[in-house]
Structure 1
Amino acid sequence: MTLLSLFTVALVLAQDTARPPEITPEITRLADSIAAAEFARDSLGSITVAIVSGPSLAWTRSYGFADRARSRPASAATVYRVASITKQVTAVMLLQLVDAGTVRLDDPADRWFAAAGQLVDANGRRHSPTLVQLATMTSGLVRDPDDQRRSQTGDPREWEAALEHGLAHTTFAAPPGTAYQYSNIGYGVLGAALARAAGEPYLSYVERRILGPLGMRSSGFVLTPALEQALAVGVDWDELYRDTLNYEDAATDHRSGVGFRVPGGGLYSTVGDLARLVALEIGHGPAGVLGPEALALRQRVPVASSSTLDYGYGLGIQVYRWGDTTAVGHSGNLAGYTAQVLYDPALKFGVIVLRSAAGGEASAGRLAGRMFRMVRRRTGPPGPGN
């Protein structure tokens, strides 16, 4: 991947429309048909889908069962691990602190989190990425620590201890600011730096300033009894074991926590709660959480893009392109769970796909892409994208 600005994305984000699209019965019929066909590819676990229009959850439907006994059908109230979609929440925290004047995007991370200044490359040189480099996946840090995943488990309330362990096994794949490099450990560093700057632990800050004000009452980082009761049981299709279903690994993953990955992948949520997050991202959320100025700032941050311009990464957002159609959002993938959120900030709609399975024939990303393009074709203005 190379570093450059996705000009088509900038144009899409800069546009605005006053009225969110009408999600007609024809659109929901087609969405149901697309989702049902995707689930039928393997019928693993469950899939819950949703369409967001402006501030509202316009439509949702579930397929399959939330438990392996097939006694609890999935529903809009089913809780899923949303994995890296969590990065969008951490990016909101960054934008809030920038908007408040607490931090600057170009602050070196070690200004707030001293351990970030101890990171060294293969030649022993120290680098401290900036906050915006961490948020845009241009920090140069490797994807995960080389510690046999020891730092990727543990109580979410103790995630910073796991981060410190992981940093001792982390290096740079490239100098900061020179290349796109997806990094989960980078988002751990970002979360720690933001928590220090805010003077408040990451978990309590996100609950108090983001989840609570958005009304995301079925979301959280700690698996409470209420969340576990509604949680879909994750399924892994493991081809290494003669194509057998592996429930044990998925169950172990969510019960043991995700260690340093909390700011980049630790959230549990539902389609209804994520619809509130999507509404915020497209400009229909409470101004007290993220106002127009903060959203405009996100839109001005350049996107690190592939040379084909079909994929890029901005400030906590992935950018996808199919010909003349562009979507913004994020994917998620953990043992037993896959997820995808896609939205259009100009047309004011989005789609959500949550799946309690990893592997197999169905794909949360493919399903979300097909639903997104279908809604856009039927609601967007005439033009090349339609």
Structure 2
Amino acid sequence: MKISSVVLAICSIAMVGPVLAAGDVASSVQKIASARVSSGAVPGMVVATITGQEQKLQGFGLVSNGKSQPHQPDASTVFEIGSVSKTFTALLLADMQVHAQVKLDDAVAALLPDYSIPQYQGRVITLLDLATQTSALPRLPANMAPRQPDNPYADYTENNLREFLRSYQLTRAPGAKYEYSNLGFGLLGQALSARAGKSYAELVQERIAKPLGMTDTGIALTATMQNNLATGHDAVGKPVANWDMPTLAGAGGLRSNAQDMLRYLHAHMHSADVKLPAGLQLVQQPLRPTGSPGLQIALAWHVQSVRGQTVIWHNGMTGGYASFIGFTADGQRGVVVLANASVSVDDIGMTALLPATPATDASKAGEIRLTAKEMTEYTGRYQLAPGAILNISAGPDGLLAQISGQPQAPVFWRKKDEFFYKVVEASLQFERDASGKIQSLTLLQNGHASPAARIGDAGPEPAKRTEIAIPAEQLKQYAGSYTLAPGFKLIITEQAGQLYAQATGQGRNPVFAQAPDEFFYKVVDAQLSFQRQADGKIKGLVLHQNGQDMPGPRDGD
């Protein structure tokens, strides 16, 4: 499921692609998806779009980077859908509410009497809290210590979940604040399963998949699904293992194909015409704020207001796959994007959903060149969010903007203190203090205004790093689990002479030696420094990223 679109970043700001008119939706999506595949960022993907009464399904690339599966993905190709599974869990909740089997304000503890569910000053966690990401539970349980780093949820048991909840203390009242929690939705799946007396997988089949004719959707792979399964790939294109989530399946355990997901999408877009499953209208109603302007949360679904249009969407990511599903509240546009790499496809989904905007200056403006002195006053580092820094630097042809972990992009002068991107629908508005010095900026994108204070001079270009060879036997000494923060571990493994790092809930990425005990990523500007104790044994590491140093002691030491 989606943990972060930038490897190891504490927070990332997703840059969403340009938007076009309804008649151009399929062609604009084709252009962006083809470019994503051609660049090598994603081996293959399937995009299904609905525009008015028309629908189109397009396959791009290959189902695997390997030679054993050379064909293009199509309507029957199966992918892990990650956190899009949460919308299924929410629909199960809505269906059971409609049938008077549960109430949204039921206490989770009442459905799971064998669990010790934490509470805060008498305020209990309800089903609604879990379904709206406001439970006050952390993103992941802190006692996840996977024996299989490339399949991190596989050995997390229900006993592990009970143990964590028994010892966890809430830091605030449930319902008080939006905070995305895979743990919370996994717990919701457990609660609904307990009330129904059936497994989560059985509930999905009985109440959603079979009524909608979704024959290739589920947790366990049927023979047909296995035969059509696309190979998952990490962020650098290497094949990775599939994820299994026996305990937290409600958060991200489902697999499906575009044909089935198109049926699922149609049901949500035309719910008045669909009798089963019940509750389709309920899941779309915004219920609580998220703290971001224009963005609310319904039951799992995010409801976002963008330039006068309301978009209902969810995304997902596992170690080897990415997904996006969304539709407009007026029922005129819908999209499903399934990809076989852990690389965000949100921009492709949003491109299919958002209406055209009036012609901007992007096609004509930008010819004005600033002098070196004029550019200098804008350059600097601007703090968008913890771990997300926007670096503005002077390039040979103008200003360059780079968000932590993302590529540089040129920005063009529109008017004094205002610049715009051509590669995405976004702009920058710089603000000055009383003396006329730039003190902050605001990133304007998709209806969001993200202010960022200037925190220093423009950062240098990432250092050029030279890879050195270290024998496999020596690499094995670094393998282990390192705790960087509560609920956030970095698992280091060695395989065939290559060292890998995997953060909790994320895909596995290779790291490369530049010196003994010093390693670096190639997919993101981040480094690892391993630390030794007096006897020479590795005792911990430090993650260096975005100007921060995050120490992590080795677990068990």
Task: Give runs of aligned pairs for residues 93-132 of structure 1, distance below 5 A.
Answer: 93-119=92-118, 128-132=124-128
Q: Distance in 1 between matches of 2:66 and 2:100?
A: 51
What is the DSSP-based 3-state SS (H/G/I as helix, E as strand, rest coil) of the residue aligned with 1:105? coil
Q: In the alignment, residue 364 of structure 1 is paired with which amino acid?
A: V
Note closer, same or farther for the CA distance 1:153–1:326 as it changes in structure 2 (3 Å cut): same
The structure-2 alpha-carbon separation of the partners of 1:284 and 1:126, relative to structure 1 and needing over 3 Å to count, comes to closer
Q: 1:367 aligned to 2:348?
A: yes
Q: How does 1:171-186 map to 2 (within 5 A)?
A: 171-186=169-184
What displacement does 1:267 show?
0.5
Would you say the 8 A contact 2:143–2:160 is kept in 1? Answer: no
Residue identity matched to 1:283: H
Q: Deviations over 1:123-147 (max 9, x none)?
A: xx67631111110011111110002
TM-score normalised according to structure 2 size: 0.55
CA distance in 2, matches of 1:60, 1:334: 23
Is 2:337 the counterpart of 1:339?
Answer: no
Of 135, 140, 161, 1:144 maps to 140
- Please say if 1:314 is aligned against 2:298: yes
- Residues of 2 paired with 1:207 and 1:57: CA distance? 28
Partner SS state of residue 223, structure 1: coil
1:263-299: CA deviation from partner (whole Å, max 9, x where unpaired): 11000001111111111212347644234xx344344
Report the alpha carbon displacement of residue 335 of structure 1 after superposing the two structures with TM.
0.2
* Structure 1: unaligned runs, 5 residues or longer: 1-21, 238-243, 378-384
| Structure 1 CA distance for aligned equivalents of residues 197 and 54 of structure 2 | 34
- Partner in structure 2 of residue 83 of structure 1: 82
CA gap of 1:232–1:300, structure 2 versus 1, over 3 A, is closer
Structure 2 counterpart SS, 1:118: coil
Report the Cα offset of residue 102 of structure 1: 1.1
SS of equivalent residue, structure 2 residue 248? helix
**Which residue is equivalent to 1:153?**
153
Contact 1:48 1:76 survives alignment (8 Å): yes
The separation in 1 between residues aligned to 2:163 and 2:250, in whole angstroms, is 16
Alpha-carbon distance between aligned partners in 1 of 2:145 and 2:222, rounded to the nearest angstrom:
24
More helix by share: 1
Give the residue type in structure 1 aligned to 2:289.
A
Q: For residues 108 and 301 of structure 1, what CA distance do their matches in structure 2 show?
A: 21
Q: Equivalent residue for 2:362?
A: none
- Structure 2 residue ranges without an equivalent (≥5): 1-20, 359-446, 448-557
Residue type of the alignment partner of 2:268: E
Deviation at residue 175 of structure 1 after TM alignment: 1.8
Are the equivalent residues in 1 in contact too, given 2:78–2:230 (CA < 8 A)?
yes
Question: 8 Å contact 2:118–2:125 — kept in the other structure?
Answer: no
Contact between 1:45 and 1:64, CA under 8 Å: does it hold in 2? Answer: yes
Deviation string, structure 1 residues 100-153 (Cα, Å, up to 9, x no partner): 1111110101111124543267xxx67631111110011111110002344952
Change (3 A) 1:368 1:95: same
- In structure 2, the residue matched to 1:246 is 238
SS of equivalent residue, structure 1 residue 339: strand
- What is the TM-score when the length of structure 1 is the normalising length? 0.77
Question: Offset at 1:233?
Answer: 0.9
Partner AA of 2:265 in structure 1: V
Counterpart-to-counterpart distance in 2, 1:148 and 1:261: 12
User: C-alpha separation between the residues in 2 aligned to 1:162 and 1:78?
Assistant: 34
Which has a greater percent of strand?
2
Query: What secondary structure sits across from 2:81 in the alignment?
Result: strand
Secondary structure of 2:210's aligned partner: helix
Q: Secondary structure at the match of 2:72?
A: coil
- The one-letter amino acid paired with 2:76 is A
Residues 259-274 of structure 1 aligned to structure 2 (within 5 Å)? 259-274=246-261
The AA in structure 2 aligned to 1:31 is V
Shift of 1:341: 0.7
Deviation above 4 Å: which 4+ runs of structure 1? Answer: 158-162, 168-171, 374-377
| CA root-mean-square deviation | 2.9
What is the letter of the counterpart of residue 143 of structure 2? Answer: D
Higher relative contact order (CA 8 A, sep 6+): 1
Offset of 1:86 from its aligned partner? Answer: 0.5
Quick check: 2:177–2:290 contact (8 Å CA) kept in 1?
no
CA contact (8 A) 2:43 2:237 kept: no
Letter in 2 for 1:82: I
Give the Å deviation of 1:314.
1.8
Tell me: CA distance 1:161–1:148, structure 2 relative to 1, closer, same or farther (3 Å): closer
Q: Distance in 2 between matches of 1:31 and 1:210?
A: 28
State the distance in 2 between where 1:83 and 1:29 align: 27
Task: Map Cα deviations across residues 318-359 of structure 1 (whole Å, 9 max, x no partner).
Answer: 223433333112100110111111101323431111111114
Q: How does 1:10-49 map to 2 (within 5 A)?
A: 26-49=24-47
1:179 alignment partner, SS class: coil
- State the one-letter code of the partner of 2:190: A
Q: Is the 8 A contact 1:34 1:371 kept in 2?
A: no
Q: Does 1:276 align with 2:263?
A: yes
AA aligned opposite 2:154:
G
Relative to 1, partners in 2 of residues 1:60 and 1:193: Cα closer, same or farther, differing over 3 Å? Answer: same
